[in-house]
Structure 1
Amino acid sequence: MYPLSGFDGKVAVVTGAGRMRSIGRAIAVELAKAGCAVALTGSGRPREKFPPEEQAAGWRDIESVADEIREFGGQALPVVSDVADPVQVDRLLATVLDAFGRVDIVVNNAAAARGPDRLPVLDLDVKTWDRVLAVNLRGPFLMTRAFGRRMVEQGDGGIFVNISSIGGKLSGAGSAAYSASKAALQSLTSSTAKELGEHGIRVNALCPGVVGTSRLDDVDPASWAEYVRAQVPLRRVGEPADIAAAAVFLASAEAGWVTGQCWNVDGGQLTIR
């Protein structure tokens, strides 16, 4: 199989890329291996909130991912940024342009951590709801608006890959805020693909199923294994690399006629839409 193309001289931005076991880290590393200069963001979470495995490994969030990329000769720019803050998003754009002069690919991966939002709607705190929607939906909107304007100015196209979830299609009980944010992100993907297509800018979303990242550590492995056996035809948890491979494809020249799509990458859990 021939390698994917279209990455030489390109600059990619990946949000939420600082966790050791994460989709964002995998995407940032694979885009760098494909030939992109990569700016990667994290929220600047305090070290005392790192998972035990990250603390034991001496993990340094986006700095560790940047070092990983540099070790194989790639270009990496770590930037602490809150994607839900328009001032910080504009500052991120300026920082990327100062470093690399352009932007070609944006992966909207940053997402609110699982936790207090996983409650019935009647018990859900308004501040929790607002925080989930701020990171999962407002963030991609702000990133798309700021970086999309720059892509239009550049005049030679661009690519957005939004990391949604099959949760936005399943809309399960006890996950209303998360599910609503991811369903809305899919709608944002469709609308912006239709608006930006005339500028050669493609916008797609990936909808992962159960992926083995640190965000799932709040549920015991036996429960996840039982869920996967019952729900996932391929009978295994996905890996961050599975999502990264799909993201890199969507960012490649070979996906040049794909836009406005929300692809399930879930081991076959959803097969009807």
Structure 2
Amino acid sequence: MVVTGGARGIGAAIVATFAAEGARVAVLDRLAEDAERVAEAAGGRAYAVDLADVRATRDVTEKAVADLGGVDVLVNNAGVLRFGSLLELEPAEWDEVFAVNVRAMLVTTQVVARAMIAARTPSADSIGKVVNMASMGGKAGGAGQAHYAASKAAVIGLTRASAEELGPHGITVNCICPGYVLTEMGAGTRTAADVARWSARSPLGRLAEPADVARAALFLASSDADYLTGDALNVTGGMVTH
């Protein structure tokens, strides 16, 4: 399997969770040292890449698939979180977020789906799984999140379109919409008061741990989810319920 953004947080939890189930994992991330550490612990291999670079992303994904000897699962987890006033947002800031959060998914999905299709045998039904990381923000939005929320809404749209096109080839494509997750992303500005306020929005009274999202990804990549495609699964502790 291939995991983008697997060096930290949710991505690292996904790598560990899948490896525990016996998966051979290729970790793609620009944080080379962290990716190497996570991959080594999982018995996998790390590939340093700036996912905002289209050619590098394509080349590294192709190399990862070749080194694995084929691929049956892709988890597009990589993403950047940015905040900014709508009226002051610069187009370059918008493009930066979309380059990683959406465009990189297109590139990796193209590479991996082609490999899955090429490896399919006439008797194979479900041959591949693509799991994209969206966000509660892609459904609910929020002030100061115009570029981030729009990019995650685009991930949901890309997931649905990909599911339609790749379904006839036996490939399912779904996405996960996490809510507030206790990861390194945003930790520098997250206060105890923030955690308490956000936790109060969930009927469960807590925020997600990376493992909560990783287990959802594992389900979507398993045979138990063979008849799920084009879906956007909320992992929000009840903060979003539609």
TM range (shorter): over 0.9
CA gap of 1:109–1:229, structure 2 versus 1, over 3 A, is closer
Answering whether residue 73 of structure 2 is matched by residue 105 of structure 1, we say yes
- Pick from 86, 108, 125 the counterpart of residue 54 of structure 2: 86
2:154 maps to 1:154:
no
* Cα contact 2:102–2:154 (8 A) shared by 1: yes
CA RMSD in angstroms comes to 1.4
What amino acid is the match of 1:65?
Answer: V
**1:125 corresponds to:** 90
Given candidates 20, 29, 49, the residue that maps to 1:42 is 29
2:203 is the alignment partner of 1:238: no
**SS of the residue 1:215 aligns to:** coil
1:207-265 residue CA offsets vs partner (Å, 9 max, x unmatched): 00000001021323223223224311111110000000010011011111111100000
Residues 54-95 of structure 1: CA deviation (Å, up to 9, x unaligned): xxxxxx31111012113xxxxx01001122323112212332
Q: Is the 8 A contact 2:132 2:176 kept in 1?
A: yes
SS at match of 1:139: helix
CA distance in 2, matches of 1:67, 1:148: 26
Aligned-partner Cα distance in 2 for 1:228–1:100: 40
Q: How far apart in 2 are the matches of 1:13 and 1:265?
A: 22
Q: Moved runs in structure 1, 4+ residues, more than 3 A?
A: none
Instruction: Determine the C-alpha separation between the residues in 1 that align with 2:231 and 2:89.
Output: 31
Is 2:33 the counterpart of 1:63? no
1:105-145 Cα distance to aligned partner (Å, 9 max, x none):
00000001x3xx31121111221111001000111111111
Shift in Å, 1:35: 1.3
Distance in 2 (CA, whole Å) between partners of 1:223 and 1:125 is 31
Q: Secondary structure at the match of 2:143?
A: coil
Q: Does residue 220 in structure 1 map to residue 207 in structure 2?
A: no
Amino acid in structure 2 at the alignment position of 1:99: D
Contact 1:105 1:158 in 2 (8 A): yes
The separation in 2 between residues aligned to 1:41 and 1:223, in whole angstroms, is 34
Q: Distance in 2 between matches of 1:265 and 1:37?
A: 25
Give the TM-score, by structure 2 length. Answer: 0.93
Which residue of the other structure, out of 4, 11, 14, is the alignment partner of 1:24?
11
Cα distance between partner residues in 1 of 2:65 and 2:18: 18
**Is the 2:199–2:207 Cα contact (8 Å) retained in structure 1?**
no
Contact 2:65 2:112 in 1 (8 A): no
Are the aligned partners of 2:172 and 2:229 in contact in 1 as well (CA < 8 Å)?
A: yes
Q: How far did residue 166 of structure 1 move? A: 0.4
Identity of aligned residues (%): 41
1:139 to 104, 114, 139: 104
Q: Cα deviation per residue 1:177-202 (whole Å; 9 max; x = unaligned)?
A: 00000001001000110111011000
Q: How far is the alpha carbon of 1:169 from its aligned partner?
A: 0.6
Q: What is residue 15 of structure 1 aligned with on the other side?
A: 4
Tell me the distance in 2 between the aligned counterparts of 1:164 and 1:122.
24
Q: Which runs of 5+ in 1 are unaligned?
A: 1-11, 46-59, 71-75
